[in-house]
Chains A and B, each alone.
Chain A
């Protein structure tokens, strides 16, 4: 263990910082969860790609820079230091991309990864169904083989980005006789295919970040399936994707360290009327964001040494989602009567309010924290399982 960056790592940080300072939009973008904001965020993905910053860890052959995970963390730190926008393509670059890297054929890597890194194709996830939320093994949407195509019929819901995105990925039942985890296949599909209807879902804040997807005999070429059909293939691929989602990539520590720093600044502004409890909450926010960063650096080092992320991905997801919620709650309490204002007196957007509302989704998406606690208890601590498995 050593805590000094190498001269090369420091030089890389300087390079990222200079680019971010020159390119990150000066004004916050409109929320990703409406047409105008989505288009702005896609434009930002393409600006990032113009600097070759789409996904720095991927090989150059797939639109990346071939950097290691420490450099990725440095990139993310500088990204959030500069106030970089949310990534419109996070379902692609952070979840599907690493999954294709692990399970995809060479042809699939070439076909899907480069346009993903360049922001040319934006991805939605299609995990949940009306009857399969936390219990994902209850998926019933079917993909029936017909020659060199699947014919998909069914419904997905809570599909992040699906209101506007280009492509989606999810699991479908390819073996009609199968039950639970078996007989599911991981399939990538063009959301504009004939037979797919998207119905945006209005969220509690009024915007439409996710959507329902209805599939009516949608024909998808079999080469769009990842890792093939088989007893448990699709489930294994999905669990790997979920591991990436909960584990290392989806929420890098820079995001929370930036929030903690803003919270410290906010506290200083409101110090005169703040309670001692708020002061402690602010300190705990900084400490927890730092703890998350140390842990992520340790996980990155472990992966670089040939290790893997296991059940600890669930611990991660519980930790960052509850940290994010508590930091924003503390901010709302510090803001007092200003907390409810959508815009402050000076016309600026109340990012704490937007962030608080968004933070409430964190303990729900990517597998609810109740499910994560079950996984932790059963797979890490070895407590007995109950019910259907």
Chain B
């Protein structure tokens, strides 16, 4: 399997007559884009698109998802398979990436479970999406009483459609003359080749846990609701084409946005070290369902797959906190007891004072654990000149409280409320230590 990412670097956004990219400027035809997303009858008439650039005095709230614009220009299938494209397998050929650009979806979807992105100031240090040029979709439901899950679906599709639209327009405008600023090639061997390759190096995998608690805590794999799957193997290259899509409305800090799935830094780092420090054989995706039987079944099945493939070790990443800590821990000790070494990536809920235990479950085998920080730590976000969305949501989102929003527009919240602040795919540099 070979995938080339053709990256066009974007460092500025502008509205204009034709959607396309030139000289680092991504131009967006607002009217055309609005027409595209308003095709969905579930979305209302008051839709809007706005632009937010790094360094701007702009606060985006409440944020649902962030997606990177991509479009396949060669090879089977198309981006976000099973969602807005056909279900065919992706991960081969060439994919255009508008690097530095992102689509941000906003709306009062589930009251509590959306986040904040500040494009400048101290809040910007915590979110990776203050460094991207953001095309912000302000989405309202056509019926104010619409069920939240229908509204969520509409927002999810609007985001994916926009991401694909932006990259597709750029590809089509350039045609055969498309010239990327940077091309990265990735190769991934099939299991037979992988088993014979790199003798002497340990065979390793990546156990990729996806949030699937249901009731809007959902993730999709090729369009399939992941809570309904048994753990399965997946090439890391498929992830780059959007095989995994977030449908999550969980605390903003540690929901894995679609953007961070597309750019999974664990996959990137493991591919970089492949052939040097270890032989990276495969990803195994698994779910985080709510019942004990599901947790036991999925953890046994996922670790069994790792054992069947003869893996010596796996990196395990979690999504969310609390209930999924139990899945993380089961995956850890089951793998270790099968002789498969583990390293864990999670985040912490140690209380605002940092004095409580950080995880809801624990095992002695979890002796190699990296955390993306304590999500309960409180931060003050000074006022921004412009708010895209609804600032008052700060009082009700997870991580906020009544009074989080001060009259001058400053917001005092836990890091929990900041989109991607404690990414459990490890997309930030935040961590924690014990004093």
Answer yes or no: are A and B bound together in one complex.
no
Residues of A bordering B, CB below 8 Å = none
